């Protein structure tokens, strides 16, 4: 398929139209093809000047996504559909809507990433890579190279999200198979194990070589620890550093009702963004971060009472978000389509909470954090809302859509996946 290159974005009768041409940058004046956003912006609430469309719907449980240099999309499904765990989506006429779909890979999972000449994808126990041709199409879908194997999957926080740096390394999340490392997991009054045995093989980020086959734990580097579960992670090009989004622990009131009210349990602890380096310890399960007190607190499983602080040597978060919103996607925006304020900033897809009762559930949106010189430079703001549908969400099953993965298109469009109905959204900026 010919490559697509965006020429301009205009607003027409309230509908944004992104014009593209087929061929290549060496063929100016080729046929222009309009890409129109949906009249209702795909049901999303966006900042002024932005529009959105549903590129495709009904794919299944779509997790992370990757967009190629020609605007085609690889999607990872959390479970195979019709025997295919990876979908390859193409817009052959350039109208913004997917009209060709193929699939491969007979395994479920979350992670997918394009880097250089390879597509990387993960199951819940392994990581594979596929060689790409000059158009970034997989050359052989049947025999991927298995580069990592034998990772823990104990059916809790099992997704193996991944990203790569610029030096041939791949970073893989291995989530804790526990809420807070209690002797009896999620059991009222059960105290924490110390040292926590989960930390040996999970609750952290492992670094492996991106080009070495059949690596196991012994071949990798235990890069960062004390991270309960990371689904969203990305490499910050300005800072040349790994950033991760942690899912904070659950059920403070359920497990320790004498120490925490239902209100406190709904509001604690923060969902945290960390800038990590080799050897970082972010403190789980011994501590949690209180977004109201702006302090690291001793967890009740280890003698905490909601007042005692702890974790002096643990990393401080670079941004703290409200509790239980489940950050599932992180993307540093390097495109030029969006206004300057978005350049090099962070987009985060919040999947939405399940345990904020009796309050309404929260999240189900995409937020933006401005960055300057590789560090947060201002307050976070909701960028795209409305995924869950109208009205308050009392339980996650009421949410019509839940954001999960993020990717940047070659034209600077922002793509968002939804793992309820399998929708892929494309968000574009409209010229004034």
| Contact (Cβ atoms closer than 8 angstroms) between residue 317 and residue 269 | no
Residue 325 has pLDDT above 90, yes or no: yes
Question: Residue 75 corresponds to which tokens in the numbers above?
Answer: 């999607």
Whole-structure pTM over 0.85, yes or no?
A: yes
DSSP 14-35: TEEEEEEEEE-TT-TTPPEEEE
pLDDT of 34: 54
Nearest to 157 by CA among 106, 231, 215, 91: 231
- pLDDT tens digits for range 53-95: 999 999 999 999 999 999 999 999 999 999 999 999 999 998 9
pLDDT of 4: 36
What's the rounded Cα separation, in Å, for the pair 347 and 350?
10
In the chain, % of residues over pLDDT 70:
92
Question: Residue 323 corresponds to which tokens in the numbers above?
Answer: 């509790």
| Contact (Cβ atoms closer than 8 angstroms) between residue 98 and residue 83 | no
Residue 1 has pLDDT above 50, yes or no: no
- pLDDT tens digits for range 107-134: 999 999 999 999 999 999 999 999 999 9
Residue 208 has pLDDT above 90, yes or no: yes
Q: What is the mean pLDDT of residues 327-334?
A: 98
Residue 405 has pLDDT above 50, yes or no: yes
DSSP 65-128: EEE-TTS-EEEEEEEEETTEEEEEEE-SSSSSS--EEEEE-S---S-EEEETTEEEEE-SS-EE
Q: Is 391 exposed, middle or buried (0-12, 13-18, 19+ CB in 10 A)?
A: exposed
Domains of the chain by start residue, with CATH = 3-429 (2.120.10.30)
What's the rounded Cα separation, in Å, for the pair 369 and 377?
8
Phi, psi of 59 (to 5 degrees): -80, -20
Question: Residue 318 corresponds to which tokens in the numbers above?
Answer: 């670079």
| Contact (Cβ atoms closer than 8 angstroms) between residue 308 and residue 298 | yes
Residue 7 has pLDDT above 90, yes or no: no
């Amino acid at each position: 398929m010919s490559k697509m290159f965006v020429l301009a974005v205009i607003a027409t009768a309230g509908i944004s139209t992104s014009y593209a041409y087929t061929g290549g940058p060496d063929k100016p004046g080729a046929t222009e093809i309009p890409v129109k956003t949906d009249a209702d912006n795909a049901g999303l609430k966006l900042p002024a000047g932005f529009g959105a469309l549903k590129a495709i719907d009904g794919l299944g449980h779509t997790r992370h996504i990757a967009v190629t240099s020609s605007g085609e999309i690889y999607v990872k499904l959390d479970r195979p559909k019709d025997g295919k765990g990876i979908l390859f989506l193409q817009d052959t006429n350039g109208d913004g809507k997917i009209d060709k779909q193929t699939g491969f890979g007979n395994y479920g999972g979350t992670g997918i990433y394009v880097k250089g000449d390879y597509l990387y994808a993960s199951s819940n126990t392994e990581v594979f890579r596929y060689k790409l041709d000059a158009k970034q199409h997989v050359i052989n879908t049947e025999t991927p190279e298995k580069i990592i194997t034998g990772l823990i999957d104990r059916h809790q926080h099992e997704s193996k999200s991944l990203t790569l740096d610029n030096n041939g390394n791949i970073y893989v999340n291995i989530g804790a198979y526990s809420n807070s490392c209690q002797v009896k997991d999620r059991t009222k009054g059960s105290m924490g194990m110390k040292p926590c045995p989960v930390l040996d093989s999970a609750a952290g980020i492992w670094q492996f070589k991106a080009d070495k086959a059949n690596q196991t734990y012994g071949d990798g580097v235990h890069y960062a620890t004390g991270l309960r579960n990371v689904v969203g992670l990305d490499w910050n090009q300005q800072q040349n550093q790994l950033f991760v989004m942690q899912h904070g622990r659950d059920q403070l009131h359920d497990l320790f009702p004498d120490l925490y009210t239902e209100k406190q349990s709904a509001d604690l602890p923060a969902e945290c963004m960390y800038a990590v380096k080799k050897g970082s310890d972010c403190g789980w399960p011994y501590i949690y971060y209180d977004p109201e007190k702006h302090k690291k607190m001793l967890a009740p499983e280890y003698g905490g009472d909601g007042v005692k602080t702890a974790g002096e040597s643990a990393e401080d978060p670079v941004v703290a978000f409200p509790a239980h919103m489940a950050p599932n996607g992180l993307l540093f925006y390097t495109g030029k389509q969006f206004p300057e304020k978005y350049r090099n900033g962070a987009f985060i897809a919040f999947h939405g909470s399940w345990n904020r009762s009796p309050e309404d559930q929260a999240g189900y949106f995409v937020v933006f954090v401005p960055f300057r010189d590789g560090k947060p430079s201002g307050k976070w703001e909701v960028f795209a809302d409305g995924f869950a549908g109208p009205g308050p969400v009392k339980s996650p099953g009421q949410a019509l859509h839940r954001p999960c993965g993020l990717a940047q298109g070659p034209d600077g469009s922002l793509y968002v996946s939804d793992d309820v109905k399998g929708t892929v959204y494309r968000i574009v900026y409209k010229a004034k």
